Chains A and B, each alone.
Chain A
Amino acid sequence: MSFAARVRKLAGEYPEPASAVMPALRLAQEEHGGWLPPDALREVADALGVTPAYCMSIASFYDQYNLEPKGRTQVEVCTNVSCALSGAQGVLEAFERELGVEAGSTSEDGAFTLGTVECLGGCGWATVVAIDNRHRLRVQPDDVPAIVEELRNG
């Protein structure tokens, strides 16, 4: 099924097709390797009968849409209050060491993007680390070398 046809199918779930802009952007991001280049915004716009600028206004509002390329694996450490109290900064620094990349940036080989993220809803299982949106729970600094090795071999 073409991208446009898949977007129209998504739009069919809603009384008004404009509601499908979020799921369509999510789909476009998956198709474009984890980010939304201008072409992706244009495809979504064409499929839904809105403008690319409108799609940009939505994509720029929500944190999960990426407007620039990311590493092949995204590592996000929650540093909100409960995780912070449980040692999230130590976990973040352990990832910086093991990945050789500073928080907020992507490794030179494009393999990893490391960042911090606001509360992921796992406060009771701190520290929560989202790796490509899959949550690792109760992560301690000492766990990080094994996690990174697993990701490098993955």
Chain B
Amino acid sequence: MAERPEVVFAGTDGGALTAIEDYEAAGGFSALRKARAMAPDDVIAELEASGLRGRGGAFFPTGRKWAFLPKPDQLDEPHYLVVNADESEPGTFKDREIMLRVPFRFLEGCLIAAHAIQSTHVFVYIRGEYDHEFVVLRDSLEAMREADLLDDVTVVLHRGAGAYICGEETALIESLEGHRGQPRTKPPFPAIAGLYGAPTAVNNVESIATVTAVLTLGGAEYAKLGVENSTGTRVFSLSGDVVSPGNYELPHGISLRELIYDVGGGVPGGRELKAIIPGGSSTPILTAAEVDTKLDFDSLVAAGSGIGSAGVIVIDDRCCMVQLGIRVSQFYEHESCGKCTPCRVGTRWLTQLLEKIEDGRASQADLDLLLSVCDRILGKCLCPLGDSDAIVVSSYVAKFRDEFQAHIDLGGCPFGGESSLEGILAPSALHSHRHRGAEATPA
């Protein structure tokens, strides 16, 4: 590993900057003062120059997203900034650490973004399970209010209540309006008709914390970090079968090998690397042979996957890929909002077919049916949730076809009860008090 420049966590020295005096002493709020002295469009131009792209998973250019909002003289309605702090993508735990370690940098970014889109209303939608993070943000916000930093901006911390789907921006907006968190059809996009039907920018926590750094460094300087099309640093969440899991801020473009072995200490117990999920559970799987793939947008697209939320899950050779498929599919089935049929029904079908394969009750036709169901979900849903299940399950089959085939040929799991995911009990199985395999299956 060459350099490890810190942008999001700059000045923390491995700890946290949770006292407002410490944050100011480390140069805090200078970016806000700088931004407020600039015309809003100039702030947006600075973001465009930085090349910053959204850290929530979609990687949309942040400056361009803000530029889509009508100007107040074009549309005389309130404009809203909504920050997505509903971090729930399996394998991802970075936003939580950002809110805990650099809460002021994050809140400063909220105020800079509000200035850029000419908004005086900021809503931070924070995951309902993040009690401690909520308290840290609430106290930090109060300290900023006392220090007269908020100006005329109202910041509301809105707590979620346990729904992965609310990480999807239109579902999040619905939830914030007091409805069930079910996605809207797009267009119109939130930039035109978002919260309460008004122009709304929705940005991820890490993106917003990075906005502060972009204003501090200047867009051009920030763009020197990372690689082309994926500028800057990224807070990678590393978990699974790895010696030193955790969050690591590193420049885009480092390889999976560097992250897993040089930074993460490799696979424990002398076991073999088998597979890698590179960007949260919604991204297609890579095999051990692809460990030299670089962690940037273009490289991962070229490898048939995606950088997603940069949650890297390491999987060693103890893991049965059919069981992995079941567990991942159970998650999407549980979290499907039920609004559109391909997702609501399709995710359940995928789970049931995978269970049939795992239990040795599947014929060759069931494997074809599994892929056919994936095809019937893909591109036919209102939002990416159903697609995610279909994309990843079909990637497990594509990359580990022999293992799926072995289940059918052997009439059971070739791991013989020794897989690292053996017997794992998902909440969706809990609700019905049925353990895996004990229910009716399709076909």
Query: Which residues of A approach B to under 8 Å, CB–CB?
Result: 13-16, 18-23, 25-26, 57-58, 61-65, 79-82, 84-86, 88-89, 92, 103-104, 115-126, 130, 133-135
A81/B313 contact (C-beta < 8 A), A61-B180, A134-B131 known: yes
B334 at the interface (CB under 8 A from A): yes
Pick the residue among A15, A20, A118, A130 that contacts B335 (CB under 8 A): A118
Are A62 and B160 in contact, CB atoms less than 8 angstroms apart? yes
B425 near A58: Cβ-Cβ < 8 Å? no
Q: How far is the CA of A44 from the CA of B279 in the complex (A)?
A: 40
Q: Considering the chains assembled together, what is the distance between the CA atoms of A16 and B198 in angstroms?
A: 13
Determine which residue in A22, A25, A130 has the highest number of CB atoms from chain B within 10 A of its CB, and name it. A22
Verify B315–A85 contact, CB threshold 8 A.
yes
Which residues of chain B have C-beta atoms less than 8 A from A58's C-beta?
178-180
Contacts of B334 in A (CB 8 A): 118
Q: Of the listed stretches B232-240, B294-302, B409-417, name the one at the interface; the rest are far from the partner chain.
A: B232-240
Q: Are A26 and B240 in contact (CB under 8 A)?
A: no
CB-CB < 8 A to A80: which residues of B? 90, 281, 327, 331
Tell me the smallest distance from the CB of B7 to a CB of chain A, in Å.
20
Given contacts A13-B156, A16-B196, contact A121 B88 (CB under 8 A): yes
What residues of A have a CB within 8 angstroms of the CB of B164 in the complex? 118-119
Stretch at the interface among B41-49, B91-99, B111-119, B208-216: B91-99
* B78 close to A (CB within 8 Å): yes
Question: A75 to nearest B CB, angstroms?
Answer: 13
From A21, A85, A117, B427 is in contact (CB under 8 Å) with: A117
CB-based contact B91/A82 at 8 Å: yes
- A–B pairs, 5, beta carbons within 8 Å: A58-B179, A81-B313, A119-B331, A124-B239, A126-B239
* CB neighbours of B163 from chain A (8 A): 61-63
Q: Which residue on chain B has the smallest CB distance to residue A60?
A: B180
Looking at the assembled complex, report how far the CB atom of A69 sits from the nearest CB atom of chain B, in whole angstroms. 17
Residue contact A122 to B93, C-beta cutoff 8 Å: yes
| From A15, A65, A119, contact of B161 by CB (8 A) | A65
Q: In the complex, which residues 93-128 of chain B have their Cβ closer than 8 Å to any Cβ of chain A?
A: 93, 95-96, 121, 127-128
Q: A21-B178, A84-B327 are in contact. Are A120 and B129 (CB under 8 A)?
A: yes
- Bin the interface of chain B by size: 35 or more
- Residue contact A22 to B90, C-beta cutoff 8 Å: no
Q: Write out the residue numbers on chain A whose beta carbons fall within 8 Å of the beta carbon of B319.
A: 85
Nearest chain B residue, comparing its CB with the CB of A65:
B161
Please tell me if B246 contacts chain A, counting CB pairs below 8 Å: yes
Q: Which residues of B contact A115 (CB under 8 A)?
A: 427, 430
CB neighbours (8 Å) of B328 from chain A are: 81
A-side contacts of B181, CB under 8 Å: 61-62
The answer to whether A81 and B324 touch across the interface, beta carbons within 8 angstroms, is yes
Contacts of B91 in A (CB 8 A): 81-82, 119, 123
| B196 with A15: CB separation less than 8 A | yes
* Closest Cβ–Cβ distance, residue B34 to chain A (whole Å): 29
Quick check: is B304 within 8 A (CB to CB) of the other chain?
no
Interface positions, chain B 116-165, Cβ under 8 Å from A, are 121, 127-132, 156, 158-164
Determine how close the nearest CB of chain A comes to the CB of B9; give it in whole angstroms. 15
Query: In the bound complex, how far is the Cα of B268 from the Cα of A44, in angstroms?
Result: 51
* Residues of A with C-beta under 8 A to B158: 19, 22-23
| B313 proximity list for chain A (CB < 8 A) | 81-82, 85, 123
Q: Which residues of B contact A84 (CB under 8 A)?
A: 327, 420-421, 424
Known contacts A61-B163, A103-B430; 8 further A-B pairs (Cβ under 8 A): A16-B178, A26-B128, A64-B161, A79-B424, A89-B424, A104-B433, A119-B90, A121-B95
Is B379 in the interface zone, CB < 8 Å from A?
Answer: no
Query: Could you tell me the distance in whole angstroms from the C-beta of A39 to the nearest C-beta in chain B?
Result: 19
Chain B min CB distance to A40 (Å): 14
B88 to chain A, nearest CB (A): 6
Which residues of chain A are near B350, meaning CB under 8 Å? none
Q: Quote the shortest CB–CB distance from A93 to chain B (angstroms).
A: 9
Cα–Cα distance between A82 and B246 once the two chains are bound (Å)? 12
- Would A124 and B246 count as touching, CB distance under 8 A? yes
- Confirm or deny: B230 has a beta carbon within 8 angstroms of a beta carbon on chain A: no
B159 touches A123 (CB 8 A): no
Q: Does B241 contact A (CB under 8 A)?
A: yes
- Distance, CA A17 to CA B36, complexed state (A): 31
Chain B residues with Cβ below 8 Å from A116 are 425-427, 430
- Asked if B391 is at the interface of the complex by the 8 Å CB criterion, the answer is no
Do residues B327 and A124 form an inter-chain contact, with CB atoms below 8 A? no
Q: Complex formed: what's the CA distance from A80 to B162 in Å?
A: 15
Chain A residues lying within 8 Å of B95, measured Cβ to Cβ, are 121
A115 vs B430: C-alpha distance when bound (angstroms): 8
Q: Is B265 an interface residue (CB 8 A)?
A: no
Tell me the complex Cα distance, A19–B28, Å. 32
> Which B residues lie within 8 Å of A117 (CB)?
427
Question: B88–A82 contact, CB under 8 A?
Answer: no
How far apart are the CA atoms of A58 and B176 in the complex, in Å? 12
Q: How far apart are A120's CB and chain B's nearest CB, in angstroms?
A: 6
- Choose among A15, A65, A89, A134 the residue with the greatest number of B CB atoms under 10 Å from its CB: A15
B277: interface (CB < 8 Å): yes
Tell me if A123 and B93 are in contact (CB < 8 A): yes
Whether the Cβ atoms of B427 and A26 lie closer than 8 Å is no
